[in-house]
Amino acid sequence: MKRASGQGTASRRGFLRGALTTAGAACAFPYVVPASALGRDGAVAPSNRLVMGAIGVGGRGHHDLKWLAGEADVQIVAVCDVRRERRDLGKAVVDEKYGNRDCATFRDFRDLLEKKQELDAVLIAIGDRWHAVASIFCMRAGKDVYSEKPGTLTIAEGQALVKAQSQYERVFQTGAQRASESNFVFMGEALRQGRLGKVHTVRAHLGYLTKWPRMNAVLPAEPLPPKEELDWDLWLGQCPVRPYNAAFVKAWPAPGWYTQYDFAGSIAAWGSHTILQCQLDLGLADTSAVEYEYPADLLKDGMTVRFANGVKLVAQLEGWRGSCGVRYEGEEGWIACADGYERPAVSSPTLLDNFVTVIKAYRERTGRPNNHFRDFLQSVKSRKPTITDAGVAHRTMTTNLAMDICLDLKRHVKWDPVNETFVNDDEANTLRSRAMREPWRV
């Protein structure tokens, strides 16, 4: 189903019509078409399903794959992973869902794009260093993209991501799912309605820092697994070559890839959940913070940044009884939420007045569902921007990545969000990008 041109939809419908005509001519008895094939009885006709592939189907990708396979208007036809065990597991999930063995498997996502040109869209849930690069390759191939967070590894990647979405006219969604969840939507609406008065401070959960400062461990080389079991060079992607060691392939504990400078961010890895949410709700998702204060003790005190309008954001480890929390503080009260909250915590019960009504009004006003995948699928069909498109991913990740650069330099920095440069700081500006191996430059 090529939504940009409509050719895929027409060809599949034409095939179905042709198949029915041929069957009717060849058979002496009536040909009965299942109601599901025509889209009756609540089923979605094959011609109206979005054809999708999944790139990276372990960990979070496994969760996303199962979630996506549950959507009635999606047909997953292929999975891709550099690790064979994960490819096999992903295929098993898809085949079980559809009751067949049709799901194709690929080690290299470039082969998936070449051999499965019927794809409308792809899910990308590989390691953090891959998100922007793979997204750009897929958009260049004409595919819409749902990519897990963090959206980018560098500021330069974010700029390239925005350019690719515009140039290739693709739909993109970064997987900050809380942007579509009712509790967090309500908090944003509370800010827009002025329930807190003038907001002066927002707080974003850092989650956990398994190893900080980030490191680039040097580990002894181990024998490479067979390429079909684990493609190490492809696993590394854009990153500098280093000898294979199984410890890197796990996310954590250290020296897992999540703790390594080459493979992931520090604040950026977790702030892609919470700092994005803060900026979205503040109406600042089209810009980035301008002042970054180097903290005396990050783990104890957190880190403070400021936006041009004077709002202060504090990224901190504590303050919620769940993960991925945010808290908004205004002159007339505060509201906070994290995963697992039945309803947001508030300074006054009246701040939660009309919760259900507010969520309903939000859906009616915006046309957006309280389901992040459905927001993406809806946008693929309508060609309207998603709630967390490439611009949101880039501008909010810029705040995160500038925080990391501040930590790396061990001093305060200032950012110009209009020109997208650090102010009078050549050293910081060199850190907006990293060297990338061929052929992964974007």
Same domain, 154 and 185: no
Q: Return the pLDDT at 170.
A: 98
DSSP letters, 373-401, are: HHHHHHHHHH-PPPTT-HHHHHHHHHHHH
Whole-number Å distance between alpha carbons of 11 and 6: 9
pLDDT value for 21: 34
69 within 8 A of 103, measured Cβ to Cβ = no
130 and 39 in a common domain: yes
Residue 121 sits in the same domain as residue 193: no
State how far the Cα of 373 lies from the Cα of 377, in Å rounded to an integer.
6
> Distance (Å, rounded) from C-alpha 79 to C-alpha 105?
5
Is residue 71 in a domain?
yes
CA Rg, the chain, in Å?
Answer: 23
Q: Which of 105, 313, 291 is nearest to 205 (CA)?
A: 313
Distance, CA of 346 to CA of 355 (rounded, Å): 12
Q: Is 84 a member of any domain?
A: yes
Residue 228 forms part of a structural domain: no
Looking at the structure, tell me whether residues 164 and 191 fall in a common domain: no
Question: Which DSSP state fits 336?
Answer: E
Asked if residue 188 and residue 157 are part of one domain, the reply reads no
Q: If 0-12 CB within 10 Å is exposed, 13-18 middle and 19+ buried, where does residue 28 land?
A: exposed
Query: Is there a domain that residue 441 lies in?
Result: no
Is residue 360 one of the residues assigned to a domain?
A: yes
pLDDT, one tens digit for every residue, the chain (442 residues): 444 444 343 343 333 333 333 333 333 333 333 333 444 455 677 678 999 999 999 999 999 999 999 999 999 999 999 999 999 999 999 999 999 999 999 999 999 999 999 999 999 999 999 999 999 999 999 999 999 999 999 999 999 999 999 999 999 999 999 999 999 999 999 999 999 999 999 999 998 776 778 899 999 999 999 999 999 999 999 999 999 999 999 998 889 999 999 999 989 888 999 999 999 999 999 999 999 999 999 989 999 999 999 999 999 999 999 999 999 999 999 999 999 999 999 999 999 999 999 999 999 999 999 999 999 999 999 999 999 999 999 999 999 999 999 999 999 999 999 999 999 999 999 999 999 999 999 9
Are 168 and 182 within one domain? no
| 81 and 57 Cβ atoms separated by less than 8 Å | yes
CATH number at residue 189: 3.30.360.10
Are both 173 and 186 inside the same structural domain? no
Q: Same domain for 194 and 305?
A: yes
36 and 151 belong to one structural domain: yes
* Domain presence at residue 438: no
Q: Are residues 151 and 299 in the same domain?
A: no
Note if the pTM is more than 0.75: yes
Q: Which helix (H) or strand (E) holds 430?
A: helix 426-430
For residue 387, how many other CB atoms are within 10 A of its CB?
20
On whether both 66 and 20 belong to a single domain, the answer is: yes
Instruction: Work out how many domains the chain is built from and give that number.
Output: 2
- One domain, residues 34 and 66: yes
Residue 386 lies in a domain: no
Two tokens at 388?
């967390």
The reply to whether 434 falls in a domain is: no
Beta bridge partners of 316: 205
Among candidate residues 177, 192, 221, the one where a domain is terminated = 177
* CATH number reported for the structural domain that contains residue 29 in this entry: 3.40.50.720
The 10 Å Cβ neighbour count of residue 123 is 28
Domain, as residue range, for 298: 178-211+266-373+392-423
